Structure 1
Amino acid sequence: MTAGGRWIQQWDPEDETFWKETGEKIARRNLFFSVLSEHIGFSIWTLWSVLVLFMGPEYGLTPADKFLLTSMVTLVGAVVRVPYTFAVAIFGGRNWTVVSAGLLLVPTVAAFAVMEPGTSFATFLWIGLLAGIGGGNFASSMTNINAFFPLRQKGWALGLNAGGGNIGVAAIQLVALAVIGASGGPRVLLGIYIPLIVVAAVLAALFMDNIENVRNDTGAARDAAKDAHTWIMSFLYIGTFGSFIGYSFAFGQVLTNQFGRTPLQATYLTFMGPLLGSLVRPVGGRLADRFGGARITLYNYVAMAAATAVLVLASTQKSLPLFVAAFVVLFSLTGIGNGSTFKMIPGIFQTKALAQGLQGEEAAAHGRRLSGASMGLIGAVGALGGVGINLAFRQSFLSYGSGTGAFVTFLAYYAVCFGVTWAVYLRRPATRGGATAATEAKPQLSYAEV
């Protein structure tokens, strides 16, 4: 089954005998070490959401400077997700995990070198841009793990993979809390992560595998880009993951700028949202496996809109307890939505394959091929939502001195996402009579189960 260099020649997770005897053990092992590498990647990507809290008046940065800095880091993380998706097909999942983990040393060591008062904003901006490569690890990891698991377990597996990675956001905030509490500086935080990066890369090299039939299929991304569902799901993923990563970068800054919290006080609160949002992502995947990703996504957007409405109220009333409580609930809902939307992706392409007349392994292989490629594109576009959120907060603080205006904008976006989810994946098409209408309706109706 496996050739030299840890390449698996034959892989068919839909074959239940193969899965029980061989596949499941291998898939779970790769999932574990993929989560570890992606976890560190998320920590480095969101590194600057923590570093800006260390940067007091002596650094000479305004709140608008800090929001711009975190926006640009988020932007790079979104853009690099596209080539990172291709990299799995070109180099192999295991090989690229090793490389992408090792690359995290570049922004971490660079930040260690310049992190001191007197460094120019331009220098911080350029070094911060390097940290964006940590956002790419998600795309390659999800594309890789998608190939390992059968369709019936993808919601759970992808949710666990992404959730374990997302916890990297909360982890670095908790480590920062400990460092600040011990009166340590930002270089202490960076010094903790440098050896962890090396460990993640070494473990990936020792224990992960490549899958041969995923290799050199870069045309899959081109085919996925031509499919309207890739872009519809990208729009929905902006609302879930874009919110998660955007709020992860911005939460601490909102607390310090709008509610006057110190960096230590802010860090005590900020880690809770990303932590819960990460932990419930597999729950979102499980719920989607059971009830259908489209249904869970639809109701989740209702809840996200309600939580955001409470945030608007808390922001105008300047109620810190209500604000924090609503923000943590919203973070949790972004996690559920992240899990349910990513469960939808393989289901949509599998449904289309069946509607085109493909059957059995042929349909499964077609679905895996397009869903794996689309995940990188969807992940990239979704992450751009984080850029929009930080820019919206920047403009809101410049215009109104608070984040209220930004929250109103987010509320409107969630309402549109609700409408799109219902219209595309859950609305029953009008019956026009005749066999043609029935044939056209069947694929549409089946999307409710994805």
Structure 2
Amino acid sequence: MSTAVTPDTGARRGLNLALATWVSAINFWAWNMIGPLSTTYAGDMSLSSTEASMLVATPILVGALGRIVTGPLTDRFGGRTMLIAVTVASILPVLGVGAAGSANSYPLLLVCGFLLGVAGTIFAVGIPFANNWYEPARRGFATGVFGMGMVGTALSAFFTPRFVKWFGLFTTHVIIAAALVLTAAFCLVVLRNAPYFRPNRQPVVPKLKAAAKLPVTWEMSFLYAIVFGGFVAFSNYLPTYIKTIYGFSAVDAGARTAAFALAAVLARPVGGALADRIAPKYVVLGSLLGTAAMAFIAVFQPPPDVWSAATFIALAIFLGIGTGGVFAWVARRSPAASVGSVTGIVAAAGGLGGYFPPLVMGATYDAAANEYTVGLLLLVATALAAVGFTALRLHAHEPKATEAPA
């Protein structure tokens, strides 16, 4: 790939990166439609802590596993086609969730939440799309900017409860579905693949097997499951946590969750840019150490609003820096022909990392003491285990990985 960039190419790649970031944001909003309303659903349907946690976790699981497919499909069909396809496929599930919630049907809400997971697969599409537009030395920046599409979780946390208050439950879902329609139509006209993109028409399963044989795939999957999984888990479960521990309303809990998500989103490109300048290993180590420290402080339930806000926003910043650092590492180490496949598996691991914590938090909640101590200490232990793995097993500087045999 040539590194020469004309002003025209620079403008086009900036436009395409910005548009792909918006596509990610609106799909992340759709993916996170249930989380900000989980306490409302729990009250209206008299759900137990475990049932409410399952409701929040179901879209996360499907969004995670779906990335294993959308990553390799992006290598084959290109980011433009797949960004549009995922956006269109998310429209009906959004409407279905709105209809199920309006009907107060827990089983139907679980089914529609399962289908809503398709919106969460957008991440595995955008990373190779952004990589194709930028030279290797700037891919940390590119993936960091695209990762800012995670702001959709902040938008959802802040606006979804307010929209429901202003317009009603089903109308809120119609508004987001309309935004998805308009986004897909605009992408059809404006969005383009990079000039250097070449379709990889090898069958998907052998490509996934080849990617699975690369050490980078599993090393980065482990790290991403912690940093991105932590972000997803808190972005979805924090409304429940805040309402339970501090007694805030759904709207107020949503506003505080939005601040958490926004902090992580803004920190992500910082992590990517830092990884372009120093070894990603050190960026990730700093992220994991900070995550462990903030989770440990959260065990003691800092009082609202200043101390609890400072704790969780700092946690968000460390997680955001880690997500940018890990994917800059992925882009640097993955073989060019397998970026989509590796990205799909790593992104799936990140999503799976976000699936289990809400279930664990719900299952380990101590109602008598009103605390989530066990769940938070498990996060501390996991982050510290990752620190040891990263420090002792991974190299700060190494040659790019080679393609594994199919």
TM-score by length of 1: 0.83
Q: Which has the larger radius of gyration?
A: 1
SS at match of 1:47: coil
Inter-partner Cα distance in structure 2 for 1:387 and 1:265: 24
Inter-partner Cα distance in structure 2 for 1:74 and 1:27: 30
SS at match of 1:193: helix
Q: 1:24 deviation in Å?
A: 2.8
Cα-Cα RMSD = 2.2
Asked if 1:203 is matched to 2:186, the reply is: yes
SS at match of 1:81: helix
Asked if 1:424 is matched to 2:375, the reply is: no
**1:388-403 aligned within 5 A:** 388-397=356-365, 401-403=370-372
Indicate which of 100, 124, 136 corresponds to 2:86: 100
Inter-partner Cα distance in structure 2 for 1:58 and 1:391: 20
Inter-partner Cα distance in structure 2 for 1:398 and 1:202: 48
Asked if 1:128 is matched to 2:113, the reply is: yes
Q: In structure 1, what is the equivalent of residue 404 of structure 2?
A: none
Asked if the contact 2:72/2:340 (under 8 Å) is kept, the reply is no
Q: In structure 1, what is the equivalent of residue 15 of structure 2?
A: 29
Q: 1:103 deviation in Å?
A: 0.8
**1:49-448 aligned within 5 A:** 49-55=35-41, 57-116=43-102, 119-163=104-148, 165-179=149-163, 182=166, 184-210=167-193, 212-217=197-202, 218=204, 219-314=206-301, 321-349=306-334, 367-397=335-365, 401-426=370-395, 443=398
Asked if the contact 1:54/1:185 (under 8 Å) is kept, the reply is no
Q: In structure 2, what is the equivalent of residue 362 of structure 1?
A: none
Asked if the contact 2:36/2:161 (under 8 Å) is kept, the reply is no
Inter-partner Cα distance in structure 2 for 1:215 and 1:202: 26
Inter-partner Cα distance in structure 1 for 2:216 and 2:395: 14
Q: 1:221 deviation in Å?
A: 3.4
The 3 A distance-change label for structure 1 pair 384 and 93 is same
Amino acid at match of 1:205: L
Q: 1:290 deviation in Å?
A: 1.0
Asked if the contact 2:92/2:177 (under 8 Å) is kept, the reply is no
Q: 1:55 deviation in Å?
A: 2.3
Amino acid at match of 1:128: G
Question: What does the per-residue CA deviation read over 1:366-423, in whole Å, with 9 as the maximum and x for residues that have no partner?
Answer: x322333211110001111111211110111167642111000000000011111111
Question: What does the per-residue CA deviation read over 1:90-114, in whole Å, with 9 as the maximum and x for residues that have no partner?
Answer: 3222112111111111111112222
Asked if the contact 1:50/1:176 (under 8 Å) is kept, the reply is yes
Inter-partner Cα distance in structure 1 for 2:74 and 2:395: 33
Inter-partner Cα distance in structure 2 for 1:413 and 1:56: 29
Asked if the contact 1:159/1:284 (under 8 Å) is kept, the reply is yes
Inter-partner Cα distance in structure 1 for 2:164 and 2:93: 21
Inter-partner Cα distance in structure 1 for 2:287 and 2:43: 40
SS at match of 2:198: helix
Asked if the contact 1:143/1:373 (under 8 Å) is kept, the reply is no
SS at match of 1:337: helix
Q: 1:46 deviation in Å?
A: 0.9
Asked if the contact 1:51/1:186 (under 8 Å) is kept, the reply is no
Question: What does the per-residue CA deviation read over 1:164-217, in whole Å, with 9 as the maximum and x for residues that have no partner?
Answer: x100000112212432554x4322321221211011101111112235513314
SS at match of 1:129: helix
SS at match of 2:239: helix
Q: In structure 2, what is the equivalent of residue 358 of structure 1?
A: none
Amino acid at match of 1:251: L
Amino acid at match of 2:386: C
Inter-partner Cα distance in structure 1 for 2:201 and 2:290: 41
Question: What does the per-residue CA deviation read over 1:329-386, in whole Å, with 9 as the maximum and x for residues that have no partner?
Answer: 101111110001101112223xxxxxxxxxxxxxxxxx32233321111000111111
Q: Percent identity?
A: 23
**1:30-45 aligned within 5 A:** 30-45=16-31
SS at match of 1:216: coil
The size of the alignment, in residue pairs, is 396
Inter-partner Cα distance in structure 2 for 1:74 and 1:278: 18
Inter-partner Cα distance in structure 2 for 1:98 and 1:173: 24
Inter-partner Cα distance in structure 2 for 1:196 and 1:308: 36
